[in-house]
Amino acid sequence: MKKCGLSLILFFLVAIMLYPMTAIANAFEKDKVEVDICIIGSDNHFVYKIPKRLHKDKPYVEMRNKIESTLASHWKVEDAHYEANQSEVAYTFFIQDLFQEKQSGQMKVAIPYSILVGMFGEEEAIELRILASKLTNWKVNANDWAAFGFVAPLTLLSDQEYVYEGAVYDLLQQRVGHFDGTVMKGQLVLNSVIYFSFILVQLLTCIIMSRRLKKRIIKDPENMHQFRKLNYLYQIIPLMVIIAQIVFLVMSGLLTAFGLYFNPGIDLLFIVGPILLNIILLPTFFVTTESEISKELNNFLDSGM
């Protein structure tokens, strides 16, 4: 009993000692400023997630205008808006001329940290995230990311993110971040070939499934009263091809890589074109099949009479 009581006392003492540390850690997590730099092609933007305590009595519109005017001293800010959440306010700024150079998969971006985060106190905790396509390689100031305090990239769907945590003062000491990126052309070509191959897969799938549907109805005309149900049933596999194609587009990194490698408009054609073609193929084959079935059954009835 004594040992049990002593264990309980020790447990409560440890819990009491750990609670303030956990509370401080949670407060740091909730109170830090988060800045996302999204380098994703045509819609490059900065996202500021600012704790509400930093606003004090300043209206959100005034905070947005303050950050926008600072950014506008170096970049062309195309659009800006904010969204108030429970403990923070997210400000998004679309940057028109983020790239200093962008040609044939080679990219250069310069980020003056005084303009990016100079509006915050030097002692403020900050989390800076660089989001880029997972089909690109990036270096900061011609060095490895780890040398500048960035955590190794975490891959999320089409993107990868490099994370820096520290005080604003530490970031300002680096002055300017020179980011050099390269699209991995070999991987881009391979993934593009696979992505466009879904058109061929869809074509073959539609041919096979529409013929099976036709054969089943012609073989047993009694199934004609269930035609709509059977028609939908045989379209499931072609629909799954389209879903698989969209999943591959996102998971492979092509969704953002096309925007980085091609000019605006062309990237959208490469992204949407194959999916749109597969969507068109699906009803085209099955509507044609329905017409052929009706024609053959009519001919069969006419010959029977």
| 15-47 pLDDT, tens digit each | 444 444 444 344 444 578 999 999 887 789 999
Q: Which of 155, 183, 211 is the last residue of a domain?
A: 183
pLDDT of residue 149: 77
Instruction: Supply the range of the domain harboring residue 56.
Output: 32-183
Retrieve residue 88's tokens: 């923070």
As a whole number, the mean pLDDT across the chain is 83
Structural domain contains residue 96: yes
CA 40 to chain centre: 9
Residue 249 has pLDDT above 80, yes or no: yes
Is 69 within 8 Å of 77 (Cβ atoms)? no
Amino acid letter, residue 184: M
- For 143-176, how does the pLDDT look when each residue is reduced to its tens digit (9 = 90+)? 777 777 787 777 878 888 889 888 998 889 888 9
Q: What is the domain count for the chain?
A: 2
Q: Whose CA is closest to 36, among 172, 127, 115?
A: 127
pLDDT confidence band for 119 (50 / 70 / 90): confident
Retrieve residue 196's tokens: 């466009």
Judge if 160 and 37 occupy the same domain: yes
pLDDT of residue 298: 63
Judge if 246 and 154 occupy the same domain: no
E strands present in the chain:
33-39, 45-51, 77-84, 88-95, 99-103, 106-112, 125-133, 136-140, 150-156, 159-167, 176-183
Looking at 164-173, 263-272, 296-305, which range is the least confident one? 296-305
Judge if 263 and 165 occupy the same domain: no
pLDDT confidence band for 215 (50 / 70 / 90): confident
pLDDT of residue 27: 41
